[in-house]
Each structure stands twice: as structure tokens, then as C-alpha cells.
Amino acid sequence: MKQKLVFATNNAHKVEEIVAALGGGDFSISTLSECGINEDIPETEPTLEGNAALKARFVFERLKSMSVEAMVFADDTGLEIEALGGAPGVMSARYSGSGTQGNIDKVLAELERKECRIAQFRTVIHLIEPNGEEHSFEGKVEGEILFERNGDEGFGYDPIFCPQGFEQSFAQMPLEVKNSISHRGRAVRAMAQWLQTKL
């Protein structure tokens, strides 16, 4: 019997990555809309850990009020750039206030005259069991920010992030390659290993 998980998102790209990283099989993933939750979840915490926990708890309580018992998880991801003091970090999705392309433009502009382009992506997943017990998993990947966009795959900052040891951006890689090294892939595998102990 498959283990049912509710992922606190409606982001199709994230769902696709999570399903691929979990490898299907033992797990069944439901999104917020599939559970009848359509409101926006606030992301008001100052850390990735805080936001992931906030989202997971929000969904857990909403499902509880609907008499739905489920294992819930949420993630928060940040791009942390050394030359920008760790920015955009927890503000990654809202960095420019004008969406993904604006976020990329802002990062490229801020790094225009900087030699150091070291960066890392970090994902934190917060999971809540039906009995209310909470667990946290983290994944990160180091790399550098490119000087221009490269590739059409992926989402977010993928076109300008080149992981260490590679010559392609995340947006130039097939999903299975990206998942094998990415921050989200590593966090999901850590969660999956833990979930296997519960089967």
C-alpha cells in the first residue's frame, strides 16, 4: 500500500521534481488543490526552516479541521550568494517583487562588477506525521552564478546557477541529472530514506 503524502504546494515544477526524486513506487503525492486547499499560505518567517515549518503546520491544521488525516510536508528553498551576504536567501522567490525574470535580472545586476560568484542552493523540508510529530530534512548544492542565462529547463534561478563540477546550468540539464545533484533532490532523498523506515 502506498504511503500518502500531502505536499504543501501547487507548484507543478516542484511536484514534478519531488515525484521524480521519490521514485514513485511506495509514495502517493497530493497537492494542496487536490486536497481542497486553495488559499495562499503566508511565508513570514525570517529563515527557510521557519517558512517550511509554517507552511507544513498551516496545511496540517487545515486538513485536521477537514477531518483528513495525512502526512504533510512543505519545503522552502533559497539561493544564497556569498558576494551578496547570503542574499537573496529566504527572499529568493520575492527578491525583485516582479517574478522570476525580475529576480534573475536583479541578481545579475548586483553581481555585475563582482569577481566572486560563489553561491549555494539550500532546501529545507519540514514533515509532520499524522500524530503531530515533526521532522526536518536539508539538502544543499554549491556552485556559482553565471554571467547570463543558459537553458530553458527547470524554473526559478536555474538558468544562472551552475553546480560545482559541471559546465551546464541547472536549466540545461535533464530533470533526472538535476535531481541527482540538486538541493531539493538531496533533501527529498533524505526524507525518503526516513519514510522508508515507516513503511
In sequence order, the β-bridge partners of residue 3 are: 27
Q: For residue 182, give the C-alpha cell.
A: 540538486
| pLDDT computed for residue 1 by the predictor | 64
Catalytic hit among 26, 76, 152, 158? 76
The per-residue DSSP string of the chain comes to -PEEEEES---HHHHHHHHHHHTSTTEEEE-TGGGT--SPPP---SSHHHHHHHHHHHHHHHHHHTT---EEEEEEEEEEEGGGTT-EETTGGGSSSSHHHHHHHHHHHHTTT-S--EEEEEEEEEEE-TTS-EEEEEEEEEEEE-SS---SSSSTTGGGEEETT-SS-GGGS-HHHHHHHSHHHHHHHHHHHHHHTT-
Domain ranges within the chain, ordered by starting residue: 3-196
CA terminus-to-terminus distance, the chain: 9
- Whole-model pTM: value is 0.89
Beta-bridge partners for 145: 161
Output the pLDDT for position 62. 93
Say how far apart CA 5 and CA 2 lie, in whole Å: 9
pLDDT in tens, the chain (199 residues): 677 899 998 887 788 878 777 766 677 888 899 999 988 888 899 999 999 999 999 999 999 999 988 899 999 999 999 999 999 999 999 999 999 999 999 999 999 989 999 999 999 999 999 999 999 999 999 999 999 999 998 889 999 999 999 999 999 999 889 988 999 889 988 998 898 887 6
Q: Among candidates 10, 12, 17, which has minimal Cα distance to 183?
A: 17
Taking the C-alpha atoms of residue 92 and residue 5, their distance in angstroms, rounded to an integer, is: 26
pLDDT at 170: 96
Domain at 3-196, CATH class: alpha beta
Is 76 a catalytic site residue?
yes
